[in-house]
Amino acid sequence: MNFPGRIARRLESSSLTSFYTICIPLFLAIFLLIATLPFSAAPYGDGEFHWDAKIWADVIRGNLPWDQIGVRKALGPVLFYTVPYIFVPSDAQDSIFRSAAVAWTMAWIFVAFLCICSAAETLGGRLARWLAAGLFLSSPFLFYYCLSVSAEPAAAIGAAVFAYGWTRGSKAAAITGRVHGRHLAVASLGMAFVLLCRPNAALMLPLAALCVCITVLKEKGFTQEARFSLLCAIIAKTIFLALSSAAAFLPGSSRGKAQSENFAYVFFHGRFQYRTEPWNWNSWDDINRRESQDYKNWLKTRDTLYEDAARRNQTISAAEYS
């Protein structure tokens, strides 16, 4: 009796209605389960995105002057959280702002879930859609970080939108022999938003170039599929550079680190996270990571680099890049 085969055939022939009927309750149940755990991510992440988004919302409402607006770290999360914060009274407690952020994030994470499932179906049919849904719902990471005002959920949403646009667009380009503007726009905006949320994700661009090279070699020519990937990378990089440069000139951006310095900091400490402790998701700070071996290794290397930087009259960001 080929039981797995029967399940696969049943899933392959299932309707979209049955997919939603099963997945929506599961999605909500998993979120509620993660939300009730005795531990959670830092409610406001590093704090910068939360405070910057509050300032942006107040400036938009006219409660603060324009010269207060700025970006301390990455622009993407600030734009993302400003939207729900606009609808929260300025004098509300921070917990109310966080609740609005969590509700907003969860709504978009469900959109990201649908994007991932649709991308999987485009590549491998309805069975792939179900497998993608199972993998998505079995990972607690996104649900865990959704309870925090941080860059990770926003970046994950951008990545899902990119995956949806790229799979749809590259397949359409291969079938029709032309690049479809709407798919290119979705994929490019998704990739650009990932970069705006996590600048260290810039490695996506070389990967996109690698995909183009592989496609050209495989097809023995510059196909529309390769053209789609190349245009997507170029447009995303242009959007990222333009918006990041503009953010650096906002009047309030002098309050915090420059964008290049933030990139160096994230790039540097990202080399040490999850090396020996893949299940330690605590915030990267002295309070939550005091006994962490990865954190201790980072502190040791950081202190050595900073001493070398001072001796060589080097900037901190230059030392972190080394």
SS3 annotation, 37-104: CCCCCCCCCCCHHHHHHHHHHHHHHCCCCHHHCCCCCCHHHHHHHHHHHHCCCCCCCHHHHHHHHHHH
pLDDT at 217: 79
Do 181 and 48 lie in a common domain?
yes
Do 245 and 265 lie in a common domain?
no
Nearest-CA neighbor of 23 among 141, 137, 156? Answer: 137
Q: Which domain holds residue 275?
A: 257-322
- Which amino acid type is present at position 226? A
Distance CA 309, CA 316 (A): 7
- The pLDDT-based confidence of 14 (bands split at 50, 70, 90) is low
Do 220 and 269 lie in a common domain?
no
Contact 275, 294 (CB under 8 A): yes
Q: Tokens 């949403």 belong to which residue?
A: 157
Do 306 and 172 lie in a common domain?
no
Q: Round the average pLDDT of the chain to a whole number and report it.
A: 82
For the segment 158-175, the average pLDDT, to the nearest whole number, is: 88
Final residue in a domain of this structure, among 229, 256, 283: 256
Final residue in a domain of this structure, among 239, 256, 273: 256
Do 145 and 265 lie in a common domain?
no
Please state the domain count of the chain.
2
The pairs formed by 54-61 with CB atoms below 8 angstroms and a separation of 24 or more are 54/85, 54/97, 55/252, 56/82, 56/85, 57/82, 57/85, 57/86, 57/88, 57/90, 58/90, 60/86, 61/86, 61/90
- The pLDDT-based confidence of 249 (bands split at 50, 70, 90) is confident
Do 241 and 102 lie in a common domain?
yes
- The pLDDT-based confidence of 214 (bands split at 50, 70, 90) is confident
Contact 184, 164 (CB under 8 A): no
Do 77 and 174 lie in a common domain?
yes
Per-residue pLDDT tens for 71-130? Answer: 888 899 999 999 999 999 988 898 899 999 999 999 999 999 999 999 999 888 888 888
Count of H-run helices and E-run strands, the chain: 13, 0
pLDDT at 194: 93
pLDDT at 258 over 70: no
Do 150 and 270 lie in a common domain?
no
For the segment 241-254, the average pLDDT, to the nearest whole number, is: 81
For the segment 33-62, the average pLDDT, to the nearest whole number, is: 84
pLDDT at 3: 45
pLDDT at 238: 92
- For 202, the token pair is 């810039």
Do 313 and 198 lie in a common domain?
no
Do 171 and 303 lie in a common domain?
no
pLDDT at 210: 80
Taking the complete model, does pTM exceed 0.95, yes or no? no
Do 235 and 296 lie in a common domain?
no
Lowest mean pLDDT among 11-20, 41-50, 233-242: 11-20
pLDDT at 91: 86
Final residue in a domain of this structure, among 236, 256, 276: 256
Do 268 and 285 lie in a common domain?
yes
DSSP 8-state symbol, 194: H
pLDDT at 43 over 50: yes
